[in-house]
Amino acid sequence: MKSMTQRLNNISGQIEGVKKMIDNECDCEKVLTQLKAIRSAVSGVMDEIVEGQFDSDKKLLIKLKKYVKSN
């Protein structure tokens, strides 16, 4: 399993890649696909943080996961 730092470094690299795609006027669909992947990766990191903090309180964990996914 990747560490939190590795996951955040990957996200950072993805963001840099999207910047280059935009600078090179890459196809909109390709840019949006990468942004969706970034959003998914960030969501995964957020889930991991929430689970790590609230693992003992399952009801609170479920509520926080729903909140994170809706925002």
Closest CA to 18 of 2, 4, 1, 38: 38
Q: Give the whole-angstrom CA distance, residue 68 versus residue 63.
A: 9
What are the tokens at 57?
């309180």
What is the four-CA torsion angle of 62, 63, 68, 71, rounded to 10 degrees?
A: 140
Q: How many domains does the chain have?
A: 1
- pLDDT tens column, 42-71: 988 988 887 777 666 777 777 777 877 776
Alpha carbon 2 to chain centroid, angstroms: 14
Q: Which domain holds residue 37?
A: 4-70
* CATH code for position 22: 1.20.58.1000
Q: What is the pTM of this model?
A: 0.76
pLDDT at 13: 97
Its sign, for the CA torsion 32, 37, 38, 44, is positive
